[in-house]
Amino acid sequence: MKEQIEKLFKENDLSDDALLSLIQTDECDEILAEKADDVRRKIYGDEVYLRGLIEFTNYCKNDCYYCGIRRSNKCAERYRMSFDDIIATCDKGYSLGFRTFVLQGGEDPYFTDDKICEIVSNIRSKYPDCAITLSIGEKSKESYKAYFDAGANRYLLRHETATDGHYRRLHPEEMSLTNRKECLFNLKEIGYQVGAGFMVGSPYQTPENIVADLRFLQMLEPDMIGMGPFIAQGQTPFAEFKSGTLELTLRLISILRLLFPYALIPATTALGTIHPKGREMGIKAGANVLMPNLTPSDERKKYLLYDNKICMDDDAAMCKNCLETRISSIGYKIVNSVGNVKRERI
Ligand code: SAH
């Protein structure tokens, strides 16, 4: 196994069989993390980038079985932030030092392309030095292009799983993996910095599925890879499923760093939810991005993709201070820069 890790370190790739074994053993976690840290330090030093997350709507027309804001969840209390509240949240974030705003939401038809473009172009003209990231699901190529022309420059759309059969078990019939993948390639073609990714330990996920995810990512060559543990939400069909584990998530973060040395990889809020030090451990395992929540607390409490989400009562300033302390305690530093990928494409 040691030789395989050395090979992964040198060549940024491994055979399917070797990846499968590496994913399934806990014997190499320490050395994987060491190598991943080495690679990250060569490219990004000790810098950790912040993305200010604004969860601006929890209305969703989709019905993904794992997600707490799926349309069939009649218990979810729905909200939409107003244009003014979204801009005010950016203002607050900017004054705290955030230089990337991530507008995330369910697929909410209320926010037409015109409305999204209006929001994006306003943020763009107010904050020309910031990155504007959208994470609002599957749209037509024309819509993506319109947002891009309005000033958006990054897009997060996790592929969720690259295997058709697995995709079918996580989503209703009306959704399609082919379409989701096509969206990702469209986004790249338009010129966005693109983030894909998947949940660790989602129901029915096999190690073979994970290898397929890694292969898909190699084909896509995204700039960002978002990967956090699946956590059950009590009002979904997957309420009784176990969460993804800390160990496997950390192992996969290290493997991602070795396969994609240049990638921007977040230590996710979901990782911080399954363990109090999850995000710190994620950074140590090779992640280099954190996404603190800027959403005002009334709305934040309603954006419940999964149960027991952390930081529900903290405001943005508290979240930033808290993370700065946590990150410096493990030997890295949070920087206020826009945090672009250190290569055009991975
Ligand atoms: N509507 C947007 C944003 C989705 S929410 C879109 O379709 O891209 C962002 C991510 O949260 C999802 O891509 C999914 O991977 C993750 N997520 C959803 N439910 C989750 C759960 N129960 N546990 C962990 N992550 C979850």
Across the chain, which has 346 residues, the per-10-residue mean pLDDT values are 94 98 97 98 97 98 98 98 98 97 98 98 98 98 98 98 98 98 98 98 98 98 98 98 98 98 98 97 98 95 96 90 95 96 71
| 260 CB burial (10 A radius; 0-12, 13-18, 19+) | buried
**108, 111, 158: which to mutate for ligand 1, most atoms within 8 A of CB?**
158
pLDDT score recorded for residue 118 = 98
Give, using CA atoms, the residue closest to atom 12 of ligand 1.
158
pLDDT score recorded for residue 344 = 56
Give, using CA atoms, the residue closest to atom 13 of ligand 1.
158
pLDDT score recorded for residue 343 = 81
- Distance between CA atoms of residues 136 and 147, nearest Å: 11
Tokens 């990054």, residue located: 154
Amino acid present at 221: E
**199, 268, 300, 307: which to mutate for ligand 1, most atoms within 8 A of CB?**
199
Q: How far is the CA of 31 from the centre of ligand 1 (A)?
A: 30
| 109 CB burial (10 A radius; 0-12, 13-18, 19+) | exposed
Q: Which of 346, 20, 25 is nearest to 211 (CA)?
A: 20
Q: How far is the CA of 203 from the centre of ligand 1 (A)?
A: 14
Give, using CA atoms, the residue closest to atom 6 of ligand 1.
137
Q: Which residues pair with 156 in a beta bridge?
A: 195
Q: Which atom of ligand 1 is nearest to the CA of 60?
A: 1
Residue 163: how many other CB atoms lie within 10 Å: 19
Ligand 1 binding pocket (C-beta < 6 A) is 66-67, 104, 106-107, 135-137, 157-158, 160, 199, 228, 230-231, 233, 270, 305-306
Q: Which of 68, 67, 33, 66 is nearest to 205 (CA)?
A: 66
Strands 193-200 and 100-105: unpaired
CB 295 within 8 A of CB 55: yes
Q: How far is the CA of 222 from the centre of ligand 1 (A)?
A: 18
Q: How far is the CA of 199 from the centre of ligand 1 (A)?
A: 8
Q: Which of 62, 56, 105, 59 is nearest to 78 (CA)?
A: 59
**SS (HEC) of the chain:** CHHHHHHHHHHCCCCHHHHHHHHHCCCCHHHHHHHHHHHHHHHHCCEEEECEEEEEECCCCCCCCCCCCCCCCCCCCCCECCHHHHHHHHHHHHHHCCCEEEEEECCCCCCCHHHHHHHHHHHHHHCCCCEEEEECCCCCHHHHHHHHHHCCCEEECCCECCCHHHHHHHCCCCCCHHHHHHHHHHHHHHCCEEEEEEEECCCCCCHHHHHHHHHHHHHHCCCEEEEEECCCCCCCCCCCCCCCCHHHHHHHHHHHHHHCCCCECECCHHHHHHCCCHHHHHHHCCCCEECCECCCHHHHCCCCCCCCCCCCCCCHHHHHHHHHHHHHHCCCEEECCCCCCCCCCC
Q: How far is the CA of 285 from the centre of ligand 1 (A)?
A: 22
Q: How far is the CA of 67 from the centre of ligand 1 (A)?
A: 6
